[in-house]
Amino acid sequence: MKEKLFRDPVHHQVVVDHPVIYDLINTPEFQRLRRIKQLGTTSFTFHGGEHSRFSHSLGVYELSRRIVERFSKAFSDIWDEGENLLTMTAALLHDIGHGAYSHTFEHLFDTDHEAITRQIILDDSTQIHAILSRVAPDFPEKVASVINHTYPNKQVVQLISSQIDCDRMDYLLRDSYFTGVEYGQFDLTRILSSIRPVKDGIAFTYGGYHAVEDYLLSRYQMYMQVYFHPASRSMEVLLTQLLKRAKVLFQRNPAYFERTSPRLLPFFQKNYQLKDYLKLDDSVMTAYFEDWMEAFDPILSDLSSRFINRHVFKSVVLLKEDPELLKKLQDLVLEVGYDPTYYTALNQSFDLPYDIYRPTANNPKTQIEILLADGRLQELSQTSPIVHSLLGTLQGDLRFYFPKDMLQLDDLFTEEKEAFIQLCQNSNQG
Amino acid sequence: MKEKLFRDPVHHQVVVDHPVIYDLINTPEFQRLRRIKQLGTTSFTFHGGEHSRFSHSLGVYELSRRIVERFSKAFSDIWDEGENLLTMTAALLHDIGHGAYSHTFEHLFDTDHEAITRQIILDDSTQIHAILSRVAPDFPEKVASVINHTYPNKQVVQLISSQIDCDRMDYLLRDSYFTGVEYGQFDLTRILSSIRPVKDGIAFTYGGYHAVEDYLLSRYQMYMQVYFHPASRSMEVLLTQLLKRAKVLFQRNPAYFERTSPRLLPFFQKNYQLKDYLKLDDSVMTAYFEDWMEAFDPILSDLSSRFINRHVFKSVVLLKEDPELLKKLQDLVLEVGYDPTYYTALNQSFDLPYDIYRPTANNPKTQIEILLADGRLQELSQTSPIVHSLLGTLQGDLRFYFPKDMLQLDDLFTEEKEAFIQLCQNSNQG
Amino acid sequence: MKEKLFRDPVHHQVVVDHPVIYDLINTPEFQRLRRIKQLGTTSFTFHGGEHSRFSHSLGVYELSRRIVERFSKAFSDIWDEGENLLTMTAALLHDIGHGAYSHTFEHLFDTDHEAITRQIILDDSTQIHAILSRVAPDFPEKVASVINHTYPNKQVVQLISSQIDCDRMDYLLRDSYFTGVEYGQFDLTRILSSIRPVKDGIAFTYGGYHAVEDYLLSRYQMYMQVYFHPASRSMEVLLTQLLKRAKVLFQRNPAYFERTSPRLLPFFQKNYQLKDYLKLDDSVMTAYFEDWMEAFDPILSDLSSRFINRHVFKSVVLLKEDPELLKKLQDLVLEVGYDPTYYTALNQSFDLPYDIYRPTANNPKTQIEILLADGRLQELSQTSPIVHSLLGTLQGDLRFYFPKDMLQLDDLFTEEKEAFIQLCQNSNQG
Amino acid sequence: MKEKLFRDPVHHQVVVDHPVIYDLINTPEFQRLRRIKQLGTTSFTFHGGEHSRFSHSLGVYELSRRIVERFSKAFSDIWDEGENLLTMTAALLHDIGHGAYSHTFEHLFDTDHEAITRQIILDDSTQIHAILSRVAPDFPEKVASVINHTYPNKQVVQLISSQIDCDRMDYLLRDSYFTGVEYGQFDLTRILSSIRPVKDGIAFTYGGYHAVEDYLLSRYQMYMQVYFHPASRSMEVLLTQLLKRAKVLFQRNPAYFERTSPRLLPFFQKNYQLKDYLKLDDSVMTAYFEDWMEAFDPILSDLSSRFINRHVFKSVVLLKEDPELLKKLQDLVLEVGYDPTYYTALNQSFDLPYDIYRPTANNPKTQIEILLADGRLQELSQTSPIVHSLLGTLQGDLRFYFPKDMLQLDDLFTEEKEAFIQLCQNSNQG
């Protein structure tokens, strides 16, 4: 096919030269990703970060394309060129099952974007499936197994999913570019020129290890500063509370939701199908929340309005989960007149910047290997003292969220608020 | 107040240090701009260009802030520091009346985003108005008059609206940054250090004229390559056609629209109020179009689906409006089975990259003045030969849009399509 | 060979994967380019522009490498892969004959860097020649003929030398990067993806013509703002005058120069050999000028000191060469006590931003061709209205240089200086 | 005075608006910094890194100007505006005493660039001193005391010299920009907006601590990858050896050096004055080394040629200083025919990325303080876990250098070389 170029601010251009990739991009299931923000609620804190999962998915594809092109050219002894299309397809589709505000939504409605991803690929109702099946009858299954980590060729799997994969490389660069938080930048060219297929996966040449080190430090910085930003998490808290409230109200007054928010019904009723899921996106959710600002219920109406107009909760860092302290804080919030079920929340955000493979862990990591001049592999933290110091450490915090006016002393509840502020200060306000 | 910093990828940071500005940003009317894409349908062609009018408005404000801060410090003899807040406020609010897909929407529904802007500022139902009124009773009127070009101080007016103003400088840099089309970049720092308040407006020092020249060339490139991109215009055409169809159908079947798209009713009924206008945004429109993909009417359903799934029309350049040729093309489209009212369109896009002030013109331009070492002003095209060559020239083209399959010869209508293709080739297909 | 990567700030990395290229880089003749500044006296005006011809030559090579790699992969029907090494070698060596402050030096000492380039390639005393001869006995001659434009394959010739070649693309990007003058940036990636080998040379796809247009505009800006900057040209004037003075003094007092500046003797004596030429570089010349600051002759000493300590002459634009005016200006400079032979100068700098091929011109240009969708070639100014407006126009100015204190009225020569200033003002002081 | 703008690729522009600064820049002592490369021998490894100490010194000044301007505007309660000129002057002049290849030269000739800096400022033979004295008779002394760390106002001292000062911030950004090693970039804007004058020095707001953290990580990366690069250190080794040889030969044959390298005599004779020191720069040294390539002594001639033509020594990492191993390695080098005094060397490069203040240390560090919301100061490693992990650790290595052909087995000394290679491999070749 004639090469198609998509202008991309992160990778300059995304090159599509395989008709399967082009056709996949043009399916409704993939175009739908234009309507889902990559960063969810984070764009309320970093106003530049309004890019979509569509843009990210093209980026992941482009990285995979560059890598397999180079592997095929320079390392054809160890890389099987026959895996190129599979790798690029898995890269393009790895997030196809994401929905609006996925993480929050999943938690409340028991959906699972990874399961949906597999379903979109395997279910013969989708255009994605039809296109994949044209390649070979078992191709959809192969694509799903790569995303699922069960595909036997670990080179392919690790390019799509490991501690340094096309997905992470793209989202760090992309989120950094769009938010304007420069810490997320790292030396992609260097990483791409030092990545190597090895017997059981991928590795990085010794000469490129500083670039890998820098990638991990950039990742750490993006987590600390962007993904775990207290204000973004506050928007997540608001979203959770307003959906929680809607679920409760649905039991009492389903007619209201049938009228204002029909596409949510299958989820309220815990009885949804793939086609229902594909009809949800940020636009629809936002349109519903805007309607709910005029809802019959003052809590739903207020929380929707806070979310739409970005009136965030404030927060304090809790050094540990202390049920007694929590109870006191909630009681004080209640005394001032807010229902703590909806107007307070605990939110913990922790990340493991890097870890070695630990077979007994819940979710064992694929460790990063450095390819030495003599052909041996060395796990990254053996090469890099700074990575060694990050190894296995959890970074993040636990926060208690509450309405901002709990910190203002200009009204009726002064005494309660003073008590609240006192307790907060003891807990290390951020 | 304590300075608030908004991280911005274009200007690095947006600094808010005046409580009026901070409060304006936090109004529902301003937060609503988060839900309106700056580039409208262009983001379907340049997938990075998904930024909002919120982000652009903050950028315009930031540029104005930097300029008035410098004017107050270095040119206080000719610049009145008392104008600072007014200038920054007008910059922040210059686009507050924009709605979803404004240009297309206005054309079909007789709305006017400039009139709405004034209304949002002047109508005492808005939070914007309330905040502005706290500054001084006549402050809303002053802000509106700056945006309206009638404010007596031309320095302030030209910073907000002229051939090189804060609005244009921000949108060129921002659209360039987000789309990844680097041609839109120019030397902002140099322009900011050469801008000067003069007796009747603003001017640029001789030393900075190359930066101004480069700004105009960048602007030219952005128009040619981004704003006038045939595929973006195709999405506009689709949008126009689908809304046109909906208007017609509303007359026949209002109940359908009452149910699926209640917020559009006041516009279908030509009887809308400010509060109705403020309830429309990209999310709502998109949610409606998604619903309409299942509409009773095959044309509305098909056009909505084309828009949502980005199945664009193709186009050819017409060298001039030739009613006879147009008729023939439309007839052939009709023969193949498409209603040309909805499945063809003419779209012309022309821009005047730069012009001098022509008092008798429809819309006279404020020419760009260069401040010479001896204090005289010289109109830019006198200084710059390359600008002279662009002076008063119109750049752009006229295109005829039609369904892509008119170019494919693999079906029943081969003869008609061949005739169509023949006519297109004579008209210089792009 | 194992790929060698040179970190390069402009192209990110320069990849050397052919042993001939690697060996050429390691010759004394090529390493010598580290000691010659790319921008000569311009670094006194743009302090960042201190990069060497070594860095530029690697850059030109890298661009040629990327192009021939792509040509070999994607256009092997029309591009002969056997030309790859020749193209890359000619790119690497195109400037190998440049010397210290070449343009000024050549003018005064009748050297010719193009002739020297051929000599370095063809003379069997050089290591360059030895390495080239190992490829094939006629390889040195082929490399010289590419640089000389006489090689039959015009694809190769035009990649190295035309109105848009690897040389110009690298120097615009590089000079822009190092000086910090952003106007010189253009969309290299887009140009590299739209360049095509065609029957008689190279062309650019229609889709890339805006990038080519932007390249020409960037080139225009770099000439106007950097290469023709009045202060840089003033340093060139100083250099010319001080070398002119040294030549005169050498006739009177050769012993002084034998002692202080032995490597210049063959040039003073007009009897130099290749090995003498290769011993001159910026370091040596600078070291000599520093010694000359203490010379027996007050004019040589003063001019050297002005050059070393950057005390530039001032200048005014002359609208045309007017011998009468010139005489008056020189007389006034003389009256104040400066010898106008050494303390005044005319300097004209004009550039032709773009021209079509004109067979009868002195130095006919290879015009830029756009490859249309139907396979026809169209000369760029037919495609681009903005290039059309630049076509064949000369841009630049003519300046008269003189000592700065001619403009200061605080001393003995007030009357003469007033007359001088009067004349200057009539001549449009820049 | 009329503001002068210097175009700068790192800070975009350097603004000079005080006549003392402008006059200092125009002195011969300051212009001399144009002839001294910032990175010394490192530009042989990173070919882009050819920038001068002139460019760096302007950059340090510019950073100090931005900081004191902001301090004067926003923190005038705690910052004394009267310190602005002093701070900017100290910033501009902090490196004025640097000479050609200072670190190596000092070691061999017992010069001391810090002592020379003070002398240039305090000695009334210099133009620098004359200009400073015009400000106030004690101003030179004050400037020297800031650079010397003895000035009582620690705010001023720490801006010029601490673990995060204008000097380091500029050189990291600048060296990163010119070499193209992107790891050295950090968020300068954020640091400049979070820096605060506090009672006994400077501090950074809590909100900016990630930017400070990132600065330290960037610094670490630049040390590991650029400043400690084995090839750059190899050029330093060559330089040391060739100057060492010249010193020895001077005792035997002073006439040779009187003729070829007159400006080095005072240093060979250990009897130099300030004016002698100011006559040395990179140009002069390079011109001398070029002459020495033809010296009577084969060792001097060979080492000079290696340096000029970049024929670097190879190296291996030694895990510790082991005199026995060293002896064996040197003996084998000797057996092959190289004098180990000149053809081998140990080079150790270690850096302390960050440390707290330790009063009993050799060279106690000024620790970095974070200003908490409640006004308390907290040492950075208390705030940042990643900095905590770097605290007080030494990073770097110890290398043994030797001629490259010790690793090649194609000649007469095969047995000795094999023994040598064996020993190297046991010592962890890099």
pLDDT digits (tens, 9 = 90+) for D195-252: 999 999 999 999 899 999 999 999 999 999 999 999 999 999 999 999 999 999 999 9
Chains that touch C (3 or more CB pairs under 8 A): A, B, D
What CATH topology corresponds to D313-353+394-430?
Growth Hormone; Chain: A; (1.20.1250)
Taking residues D252-276, report their average pLDDT: 96
Q: Report, at the CATH architecture level, how domain A313-352+394-430 is classified.
A: Up-down Bundle (1.20)
Question: Average model confidence (pLDDT) for chain A?
Answer: 94
Quick check: C185 contacting A, CB < 8 Å?
no
D contacts of B5 (beta carbons < 8 Å): 193, 207
Would you state the pLDDT for residue B254?
97
**Residue the block writes with tokens 């989820």:** A267
Q: What is the mean pLDDT of residues A399-424?
A: 86
Contacts of C179 in chain D (CB under 8 A): 7, 9
Q: Is the pLDDT of residue B14 over 60?
A: yes
Q: What is the pLDDT, as a whole number, of residue A430?
A: 42
Q: What is the mean pLDDT of chain D?
A: 94
User: What DSSP assignment string belongs to B265-307?
Assistant: HHHHTT---HHHHTT--HHHHHHHHHHHTT-SSHHHHHHHHHH
Average pLDDT value for residue range B167-191: 94
Q: Enter the tokens of residue A367.
A: 């460790």
Q: In this structure, what DSSP letter does residue A369 have?
A: E
Q: Which of B131-140, C61-70, D386-395 has the weakest average pLDDT?
A: D386-395
How, if at all, do strands A369-371 and A201-205 pair? Answer: parallel
Distances (CA, A) of A322 to A316, A328, A407: 13, 10, 21
pLDDT at D430 over 60: no
Residue D428's pLDDT band, with cuts at 50, 70 and 90, is low
Put simply, whether B214 touches C (Cβ < 8 Å) is yes
pLDDT score recorded for residue A427: 66
Q: Does pLDDT of B252 surpass 80?
A: yes
User: Looking at the complex, does the CB of residue B189 fall below 8 Å from at least one CB of chain D?
Assistant: yes
Mean pLDDT, range C354-379, rounded to an integer: 89
Give me the residue spans of the domains in chain D: 4-228+354-390, 313-353+394-430
Q: Across the interface, do C52 and D50 touch by the CB < 8 Å criterion?
A: yes
**Could you say which of A26, A47, A311 has the minimum Cβ distance to residue B6?**
A47
Under DSSP, is residue A112 helix (H, G, I), strand (E, B) or coil? coil
The answer to whether the CB atoms of D279 and C286 lie below 8 A apart is no
Give the one of B6, B34, B47 whose C-beta lies nearest to A6's C-beta: B47
Q: Which two tokens stand for residue D245?
A: 């040889």
| pLDDT score recorded for residue B56 | 98
Residues from chain A contacting residue B290 (CB–CB below 8 Å): 279, 281, 283-284
- Are D9 and D79 in contact, with CB atoms under 8 Å apart? no
Picking from D2, D12, D185 by the largest number of B CB atoms within 10 A of its own CB, the best residue to mutate is: D12
- Based on C-alpha coordinates, what's the Rg of chain B? 24
Mean predicted confidence (pLDDT) in B162-181: 97
Three-class DSSP category at A318: strand
Least CB–CB distance from C28: residue in D35, D44, D309: D309
d(CA B113, CA B95): 8
Task: Find which of C190, C210, C314, C376 to mutate to test the B interface (most B CBs within 10 Å of its CB).
Answer: C210
How far is the C-alpha of D305 from the C-alpha of D294, rounded, in Å? 9
pLDDT, average across residues B285-292? 97
Supply the pLDDT for residue B429.
Answer: 43
CATH 1.10.3210.10 fits A4-228+354-390, yes or no: yes
- Percentage of chain D surpassing pLDDT 70? 99
Which helix H or strand E contains C340, and what residues bound it?
helix C340-343
Closest by Cα among C200, C199, C178, C165 to C39? C178
Q: Report d(CA A235, CA A171) in Å as an integer.
A: 21
Architecture in CATH for domain C314-353+394-430: Up-down Bundle (1.20)
Residues of A in contact with B43 (CB under 8 A): 34
pLDDT reported for residue D402: 96
Contact (CB<8Å) C395/B385: yes
Contacts of D214 in chain A (CB under 8 A): 183, 221
B393 falls in which pLDDT band (50, 70, 90)? confident
pLDDT at A392: 83
- A182 touches D at CB < 8 Å: yes
Q: Give the CA distances from residue A268 to residues A257, A297, A364, C167, D406, in Å, rounded to whole numbers and listed in that order.
A: 9, 17, 34, 65, 76
Tens digit of each residue's pLDDT (9 = 90 or more) over A239-274: 999 999 999 999 999 999 999 999 999 999 999 999
- Does the domain formed by B230-312 have CATH 1.20.1250.30? yes
The string of pLDDT tens digits covering residues B140-165 is 999 999 999 999 999 999 999 999 99
Element (DSSP H or E) covering residue B158: helix B154-160
A229-311 and A313-352+394-430 share one fold: yes
pLDDT for res C430: 41
Q: Is A30 exposed, middle or buried (0-12, 13-18, 19+ CB in 10 A)?
A: buried
Judged on CB neighbours under 10 Å (0-12, 13-18, 19+), C197 is buried
Chain D's closest residue to C174, CA to CA, is D48
Residues A229, C371: Cα–Cα separation, whole Å: 51
**Which of A326-335, B392-401, D54-63: highest mean pLDDT?**
D54-63
Supply the pLDDT for residue D243.
97
Whether residue C276 lies within 8 A of chain D, CB to CB, comes out as no
Please answer yes or no on whether B210 and C183 come within 8 Å at the CB atom.
yes
Q: Given CA atoms C406, C411, C413, C419 in this order, what sign does their dihedral have? A: positive
Q: Are A143 and A61 in contact (CB under 8 A)?
A: no
Question: Which amino acid would we find at residue B82?
Answer: G
Do residues D11 and D62 touch, judged by C-beta distance below 8 A?
Answer: yes
Chain B CB within 8 Å of residue A9 CB: yes
CA-nearest residue to B207 within chain D is D5
Q: Quick check: C5 contacting A, CB < 8 Å?
A: yes
The interaxial angle of helices D282-292 and D230-252, nearest 10 deg, is 70
**Which pLDDT belongs to residue D422?**
86
Q: How many CB pairs lie under 8 A apart between chains A and D?
A: 40
Inter-chain CB proximity D187 and A185 less than 8 Å: no
The pLDDT tens digits of the residues spanning B351-377 come to 888 988 888 888 888 999 999 988 999
Which chains border B (3 or more CB–CB pairs < 8 Å)?
A, C, D
B–C CB contacts, 8 A cutoff, strictly below: 39
Cβ of D210 within 8 Å of Cβ of A224? The answer is yes
- Cα–Cα distance measured from residue D278 to residue B252, given in angstroms and rounded to the nearest whole number: 92
Contacts of A190 in chain C (CB under 8 A): 13
Residue of C nearest to B181 (CA): C187
Average pLDDT, chain C: 94
Task: Give the pLDDT score at B239.
Answer: 97
CB C242 within 8 A of CB C308: no
Question: Which residue, chain included where needed, has tokens 């990085």?
Answer: A204
ipTM: 0.95
Contact with chain D for residue C9, Cβ under 8 A: yes
Supply C348's token pair: 């004209």
Q: Could you tell me the CA-to-CA distances from D332 to C273, C316, D298, D420 in Å, in that order? A: 43, 68, 20, 6
Q: How confident is the model at residue D183 (pLDDT cuts 50, 70, 90)?
A: confident
Distance of CA A274 to the CA centre of its chain: 21
Structure tokens at D359: 């009063």
Q: Which residues of B touch D189 (CB under 8 A)?
A: 12-13
Query: Would you state the torsion angle of the CA atoms of residues B195, B201, B206, B210, taken in this order, to the nearest 10 degrees?
Result: 60
A307 in reach of chain B (CB within 8 A): no
B286 Cα to chain A: minimum distance (Å): 6
The torsion defined by the Cα of C244, C248, C249 and C251, in degrees rounded to 10, comes to: 140
Helix, strand or coil for residue D13? strand
Please give the full DSSP string across C56-113, using - where no structure is assigned: HHHHHHHHHHHHHHHHHHH-TTTS-GGGHHHHHHHHHHTTTT--TTHHHHHHHH---H
CATH number for the domain formed by residue range(s) A229-311: 1.20.1250.30
Percent of chain A at pLDDT exceeding 90: 80
3-state secondary structure of D76: coil
Is the pLDDT score of B12 beyond 60? yes
> Cα A105 to chain center, whole Å?
12
Q: Which of D185, D224, D385 shows the shortest C-beta gap to A395?
A: D385
Q: How far is CA A333 from CA A379, A402, A406, A424, C269, in A?
A: 50, 8, 7, 12, 96
Q: What is the 3-state secondary structure (H, E, C) of A277-310?
A: HCCCCHHHHHHHHHHHCCCCCHHHHHHHHHHHCC
Q: Check if C189 contacts B (Cβ < 8 Å).
A: no
Residues of chain D with C-beta less than 8 angstroms from the C-beta of A191: none
Q: Each residue of D376-405: pLDDT tens digit?
A: 999 999 988 889 888 888 888 999 999 998
Query: How confident is residue A306, by pLDDT bands cut at 50, 70 and 90?
Result: very high
- Give the mean pLDDT of C261-275: 95
Percent pLDDT > 90 in chain B is 80
How many residue contacts between A and C have a Cβ separation below 8 Å? 12
Q: Is the alpha carbon torsion for C308, C311, C316, C322 positive or negative?
A: negative
**What average pLDDT does this structure show over D152-164?**
97
pLDDT tens digit string along C394-405? Answer: 888 999 999 998
Local structure of C253: helix, strand or coil = coil
Report whether A6 contacts A16 (CB < 8 A): yes
